[in-house]
């Protein structure tokens, strides 16, 4: 049996991590891996999460299974965080998953179960795991234009032109905020145009929201998801708690299925539970319980929001510092997009050869498509990166 295995494609980001670790140079900079880091290069445990974990350790009296869809209190808390009051709770089915990736996988499984012929439209570029999972599941996907390499902004005209090819029952995968890998985002006027197109064509939106709170704020980052969910007959939302709660290793995510017909919610909930059972049975609970405790305790929630805002403003400050330094060195505003992008990532829009030169000549590691993790910087490394970008001729 094992002799039938074939070598699989190497994950480019994991390869980058390995190369960075093996690089002996002092002053090397890791902008590749998509994990938040503070100014000291650490991914800290958030204060409210640590307090909730201590409380849980003192109070928890069982490690028994919770439910196939996870604790309903977690679903309620996350639905409130992502959707607020934009959609009636009775029309939303939800299930906890192993991380945001698990939610995406379950969403694609749900689509395949409902309509094996559905095509999934994905932005070009998108998070590589989107297309990797679709390939593995044997699902057809179609790329739509998204990033303009010249302006480093959204190619909205190209996007809308490509999405006119969607048909009823197709899925349009959208990044709710902080687009990965580009950092370029739609404004609400553009989101409304997308909603209008979805309603005209009968296509179904699927929103991947992994960075709520990292862009313009918790409420602001949820605005697009709330607009879409309240404006279309059906939608899917995959949310992650890895970034905004800092609980990467706890693998905490949720999949929501929103339907206009509240009577459909019961069957949707049964289906989500069924899919959990087939893939991993009961979802992990530890991270989900911490999130529930933080969101349901006024004091913990206030402290979490305050720390999350510190994180957001810190990344925004690094963006502005980098854009300003590049303007000073280049005498040009061509890097102003870095201050306009939001979230952990920006795409420089340069060539793989230039990215390789940054690595070999300056010890600066980023993904080959020029996606860089802004959170991998600090006030001292920004000028180093800016000089390197100018030196290699980006």
Share of the chain above pLDDT 70, in %: 100
- CATH number corresponding to 65-296: 3.40.640.10
- CATH fold of 12-45+301-391, please? 3.90.1150
Q: How many residues does the chain have?
A: 394
pLDDT for the residue numbered 34: 85
Strands 29-30, 234-240: pairing kind: unpaired
Domain boundaries, the chain: 12-45+301-391, 65-296
Query: What are 34-42's contacts with CB under 8 Å, separation 24+?
Result: 34/180, 34/344, 34/345, 34/373, 35/248, 35/373, 35/375, 36/214, 36/243, 36/246, 36/311, 36/344, 36/375, 37/375, 37/376, 38/314, 39/314, 39/378, 39/379, 40/378, 41/378
Q: Given a cut of 80, is residue 27 above it in pLDDT? A: yes
pLDDT for the residue numbered 15: 84
Contact 383, 325 (CB under 8 A): yes
Active-site annotation, residues: 127, 208, 210, 243
* Alpha-carbon distance values, 352 to 9, 176, 193, 365, 366 (Å): 18, 28, 34, 12, 10
pLDDT band at 349 (very low <50, low <70, confident <90, very high): confident
Classify 109 as helix, strand or coil.
helix
pLDDT for the residue numbered 108: 98
pLDDT for the residue numbered 22: 93
Q: What is the DSSP string of 354-377?
A: HHHHHHHHH-EE--TT-EEEGGG-
How many CB atoms neighbour CB 391 within 10 A? 13
């Amino acid at each position: 049996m094992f002799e039938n295995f074939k070598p699989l494609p190497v994950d480019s980001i994991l390869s980058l991590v390995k190369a960075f670790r093996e690089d002996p140079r002092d002053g090397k900079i890791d902008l590749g891996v998509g994990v938040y880091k503070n100014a000291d290069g650490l991914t800290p445990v958030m204060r409210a999460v640590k307090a909730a974990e201590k409380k849980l350790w003192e109070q928890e009296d069982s490690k028994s299974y919770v439910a196939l869809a996870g604790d309903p209190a977690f679903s309620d808390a996350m639905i409130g965080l992502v959707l607020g009051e934009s959609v009636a709770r009775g029309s939303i089915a939800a299930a906890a998953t192993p991380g945001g990736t698990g939610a995406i996988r379950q969403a694609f499984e749900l689509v395949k179960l409902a309509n094996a012929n559905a095509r999934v439209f994905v932005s070009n570029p998108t998070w590589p795991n989107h297309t990797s999972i679709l390939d593995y599941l044997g699902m057809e996907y179609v790329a739509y234009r998204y990033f303009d390499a010249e302006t480093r902004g959204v190619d909205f005209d190209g996007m809308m032109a490509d999405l006119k090819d969607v048909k009823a029952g197709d899925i349009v995968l959208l990044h709710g905020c902080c687009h990965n890998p580009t950092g370029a985002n739609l404004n609400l006027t553009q989101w409304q145009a997308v909603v209008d197109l979805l309603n005209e064509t009968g296509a179904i939106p699927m929103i991947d929201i992994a960075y709520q709170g990292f862009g313009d704020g918790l409420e602001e980052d949820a605005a697009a998801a709330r607009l879409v969910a309240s404006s279309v007959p059906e939608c899917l939302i995959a949310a992650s708690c890895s970034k905004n709660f800092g609980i990467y290793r706890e693998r905490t995510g949720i999949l929501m299925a929103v339907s206009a017909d509240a009577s459909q919610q019961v069957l949707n909930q049964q289906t989500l539970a069924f899919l959990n059972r087939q893939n991993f049975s009961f979802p992990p609970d530890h991270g989900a319980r911490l999130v529930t405790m933080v969101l349901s305790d006024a004091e913990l929630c206030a402290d979490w929001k305050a720390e999350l805002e510190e994180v957001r403003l810190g990344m925004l400050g690094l963006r502005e510092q980098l854009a300003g330094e590049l303007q000073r060195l280049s005498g040009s505003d061509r890097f102003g997009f870095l201050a306009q992008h939001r979230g952990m990532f920006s795409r420089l829009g340069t060539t793989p050869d230039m990215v390789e030169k940054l690595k070999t000549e300056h010890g600066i590691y980023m993904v080959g498509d020029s996606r860089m993790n802004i959170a991998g910087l600090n006030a001292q490394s920004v000028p180093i990166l800016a000089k390197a970008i100018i030196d290699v001729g980006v």
